[in-house]
Amino acid sequence: MRTLRTVTAALLAAGGLLATAGPALADDPPPASGSATPSPGSDPDSPPAPTEAGTSFRTATLVAAGQRATADGSTGDYLYWAVPLDQGQNATVRAKVKLPETARHGAATWQLDVYDGLRRRQSCRYGMQARKVAADAGSVELSCTLRTVRSWAEPWANDPLPGRYYLRLTATDLSPQDLGQPVHAEVEAAVSDAGGGHAVDGALAAPLVPGAVPADAADDDSSPSATASASPGPQAAAGEPDGGWSSGRWSDRWIWTAAGGVLAALGGIAGYRLTQGRGRPSRVPPGA
Amino acid sequence: MIIRKRLAAGVCGLLATLAVGLLPTPAAAGEPDTKPAPKVELVLDVSGSMRARDLDGQSRMAAAKTAFNEVLDAVPGEVQLGIRTLGANYPGQDRKVGCKDTKLLYPVGPLDRTEAKTAVATLTSTGWTPIGPSLLAAADDLKGGEATRRIVLITDGEDTCQPLDPCEVARDIAAKGIHLTVDTLGLLPDDKTRKQLSCIAEATGGTYTSVQHTGQLRDRVHQLVDRAADPVVTPVATQGAQECSTAPELKPGLYNDREKFAEHRWYRVGVRPGQELRASVSIGADRAVDNDYGVLLRAVSAHGREIVRGSEAGDGRTDAVSTGLRYPMPDADTPDGGGEPPAETVCLQVSNSFSAPASVKRDPGLPVELAIDLVDAPHDAADPASFGLGRGWWLLITLALAGLVGGLVWGWISRWRISVWRTN
């Protein structure tokens, strides 16, 4: 009877452990969970979506992920926005351009380019990044799905890393007579969580945000170099993802590994229990 | 300005700039004295052709006046605005006199709306279209201070004062490194005007708009003036060398330079062990260039070994082509006797493979913007997986089976031990 009790107790304890891990496990495939896709656009407390675009990397307008930014410009303008993307995120950038209503002279090619915080061009996994539009088309839609943002990559790799991503929208090929016509552009970066399957070890000390000098480095006497020109732009604080940059230490691999440990313990107990049979045979006298 | 005074007063320059740099976000609005005021000059063509009544039934001049009035009402407080006219005074036929006809209608400075509006109301369309000389004069009006500068040029015709090409004038102004942008608006432009105005805009990193309606004129000028008020980091001028040993030493920050076609330039950055160098470069295409182009940024050690490179190539119409690199320097042991380990010099080579038709002027070179950051080096990965942790059903099944086998073995051993103990 005693062994039975200990085994039951052990099973209960293990079950309790598993139960605590349970809800976390249930969360485990999170790509569509609400918290993973910040949608500040719908949140009344969040700042309003920008209605202007920058004209260069330096003047790019900051847009939060999920926000729909709009801008009025002229055909031929180079419109820049910047979106903060954090590790473990899959981002799809969509742009829509309302083309001028006046008669145009020829077809044009519109293109949406994505650059990372180091101004390196980022490839799209899929999505029409450039589209040729006929002279009578009313609008054009472009999209680009980036690779999953990793928390660490080798310096020789071009992998997407946490930081600011620049979007550049422009007409790369058009009839010169069509320059300067009014257009209306909308861009939006939809973000979803890629899950722990893409988690890698290592982390950057600071996200790839231009002019970002971590606080401790700024205090450090050895970097007097944080001059006015290098100081973070006034919008720097706004250019963070919802809830700030993640440390890169959390992934659902912790849950899977812990759950594996619990299962192993249970398996161990079960195996041990199998070898013990059904307790002491009844015909053996208690004193033997 | 104020910063200058502080410097003159003997406040440590570094501390002052640091303080400015670390000021919180709304500095531009709340504390206008901490930032140099952005300057904008509206340059309006008042030549004879502005009399044409073809802009929504109004004369072009009237449309421009209406637009100016509305824009003047909405100029952001911190912007210093000036107005210059071209072709306002000389109605005659003498080209030489007509081509000098540009006048500062309202000087660049804090805006008095009533005064500015009165000045605008007096304008009547009169003379020639000396765009080139007006741009030079406007750049002169805007000089002084470290703020961003913007010229908004509104005209309905091309420059009538050749051989001074306004497009080259604009490029020369931009090459002075005074952060000056020229945005151009053409009122119902013909092909030649469009070509000239878009060339001026391209040469200075500005925008070109073809205005067909009065509302469009007002909205665009308003937008451009607002854009001038946006706070922006201004780059510091530097000049790269032909080889690393003589290259300028750069601190973290934003720099600009000029680089000719198929030229390369060197810069140096000191990186201490445990720091990561981040460098980005953009080379602007500020003139007609051939269709295919590229840029290469290399980090090379002082001994000439290439550490890492970033490169980019492209084709088609573009404003700039850019690339970047990062180089985390591994941690080193502290040298004997303590102290910081010395910084290692990393040479940065910026080269471009732009080319242009023979008719295109080569001088000044293409604008280069170089951003340098130094941050702490990253934590390197010990294992490709996150912290070496596992994930997935195969992991769970393997662990569970291992646990089961372990339990079985343990159980059998203990059973065997009990039976051995019993037999003894």
All structural domains of chain A with their residue ranges: 2-26+257-275, 36-249
pLDDT at residue B19 greater than cutoff 60: no
CA B159 from chain center: how many Å?
A: 28
Is residue B336 very low, low, confident or very high in pLDDT (cuts 50, 70, 90)? low
Q: Which of residues B100 and A158 earns the better pLDDT score?
A: A158
Name every residue whose Cβ is closer than 8 Å to that of residue B272 and which is 6 or more positions away in sequence.
A222, B329, B340, B341, B342, B343, B344
Contact A51, A67 (CB under 8 A): no
Q: Does A89 contact B at CB distance below 8 Å?
A: no
CB-side neighbour CA atoms (13 Å) of B352: 27
Find the helix or strand (DSSP H, E) in which A275 lies.
helix A253-275
Residues 6+ apart with CB under 8 A from B303: none
**Whether A153 contacts A159, CB under 8 Å:** yes
> Which amino acid type is present at position B164?
L
Judged by DSSP in three states, A32 sits in coil
Separation of alpha carbons B410 and B404, rounded Å:
10
Spell out a b/e string for A125-157, using b for 16 or more CB atoms within 10 Å of the CB, else e.
eeeebbbebeeeeeebebbbbbbbbbbbbebee
d(CA A260, CA B393): 9
Cα angle at B391 between B386 and B394, to 5 degrees? Answer: 145
Give the mean pLDDT of B317-341. Answer: 82
Can you list the domains of chain B with their CATH numbers? 37-229 (3.40.50.410), 236-332+341-376 (2.60.120.380)
ipTM value:
0.85
- What does the pLDDT average to over B323-339? 79
Q: How confident is the model at residue B164 (pLDDT cuts 50, 70, 90)?
A: confident
- Mean pLDDT is lowest, of A167-171, A270-274, B30-34, B118-122, for B30-34
Q: B231 to chain A: which residues are within 8 Å by CB?
A: 233-235
Q: What is the pLDDT of residues B204-227, one digit of tens each?
A: 989 999 998 888 899 999 999 988
Number of neighbouring beta carbons within 10 Å of residue A216? 10
Give CA B398 to chain center in angstroms. 55
Tell me which residues of chain B, numbers 42 to 61, contact chain A at a CB-CB cutoff of 8 Å.
none
A56 vs B205, B276, B326: nearest CB: B205
Touching check for A115 and chain B: CB below 8 Å? Answer: yes
- Tell me how many degrees the CA angle B124-B127-B130 measures, rounded to the nearest 5: 120
B 239-298: CB under 8 A from A: 251-254, 272, 276, 278-282
B333 shares contact with chain A (CB less than 8 Å) = no
pLDDT digits (tens, 9 = 90+) for B402-417: 999 999 999 999 989 9
Structure-derived torsion over alpha carbons of residues B186, B190, B192, B194, reported in degrees to the nearest 10: 30
State whether B389 and A253 contact (CB < 8 Å). yes
Beta strands in chain A (DSSP E): 61-62, 68-74, 79-85, 89-98, 108-115, 121-122, 124-126, 130-133, 139-146, 163-173, 182-193
pTM: 0.83
Structure tokens at A154: 């080798």
Query: Which residues contact residue B416 at a Cβ distance below 8 angstroms, ignoring those fewer than 6 apart?
Result: none
Q: What is the band of B201 on the pLDDT scale with cuts at 50, 70, 90?
A: very high
Summarize pLDDT for B347-367 with one digit per residue, the tens.
Answer: 999 999 999 999 888 888 999
**B250 to each of A87, B238, B253, B309, how far by Cα in Å?**
30, 9, 8, 18
Show which of residues 170-209 on chain A sit within 8 Å of chain B, judged by CB atoms.
Answer: 170-174, 176-177, 179-182, 196-197, 199-206, 208
In the predicted structure, residue B297 carries a pLDDT above the cut 80 = yes
Res A288: pLDDT: 57
CA-to-CA dists, residue A86 to A28, B37, B110, B191, B200, angstroms: 19, 35, 43, 47, 39
- Report DSSP state, residue B401: H
Residue B128 has pLDDT above 50, yes or no: yes
Nearest partner of A242 among A79, A118, A89, A54, judged by Cα: A89
pLDDT-derived band at B94 (thresholds 50, 70, 90) equals confident
Q: Where are the beta strands (DSSP E) in B35-119?
A: 39-45, 80-86, 102-109
Q: What is the mean pLDDT of residues B161-189?
A: 86
A51 close to B (CB below 8 A): no
Shortest CB distance from B20 goes to which of A156, A228, A256?
A228
User: At B267, is the pLDDT very low, low, confident or very high (cuts 50, 70, 90)?
Assistant: very high
For B48-90, the pLDDT digits (tens) are 888 888 888 888 888 888 888 888 988 888 889 999 988 877 7
pLDDT at position A217 is: 39
Q: What is the pLDDT of residue B335?
A: 60
The Cα A67–Cα A257 span in angstroms is 36
Pick from A140, A162, A163: nearest CA to A152? A162
Cross-chain Cβ contact B220/A74 below 8 Å: yes
CA distance linking residue B255 with residue B54, whole number of Å: 45
Q: Longest Cα pair distance anywhere in chain B, in angstroms?
A: 132
- Work out whether the CA dihedral A246, A252, A255, A256 comes out positive or negative: negative
Q: Which of A54, A210, A212 sits opposite B280 (nearest CB)?
A: A210
Q: Beta-carbon neighbour count of residue A215 at 10 Å?
A: 8
Starting from the edge strand earliest in sequence, which strands make up the sheet with B320-328, in order?
Answer: B236-237, B253-259, B366-376, B275-284, B320-328
- Higher-confidence residue of B186 and B9: namely B186
Q: Please, what are the averages of pLDDT over each run of 10 residues along chain A (288 residues)?
A: 46 44 38 38 65 91 93 93 93 94 88 95 94 92 95 91 95 90 94 88 89 45 37 52 82 92 94 79 62
Q: Give the per-residue pLDDT at B95.
A: 74
d(CA B333, CA A170): 49
Give DSSP secondary structure letters for B255-301.
EEEEE-TT-EEEEEEEE-TTEEEEEEEEEE--S---SEEEEEEEEEE
Q: What is the token pair recorded at A47?
A: 């700042």
Q: Is B177 helix (H, G, I), strand (E, B) or coil?
A: coil
Cβ within 8 Å, pair B252-A156: no
State yes or no: pLDDT of B18 exceeds 60.
Answer: no
> A260 to chain B: which residues are within 8 Å by CB?
390, 395-396, 398-400
Q: State the pLDDT confidence band at B277, using cuts at 50, 70 and 90.
A: very high
Mean pLDDT of chain B: 84
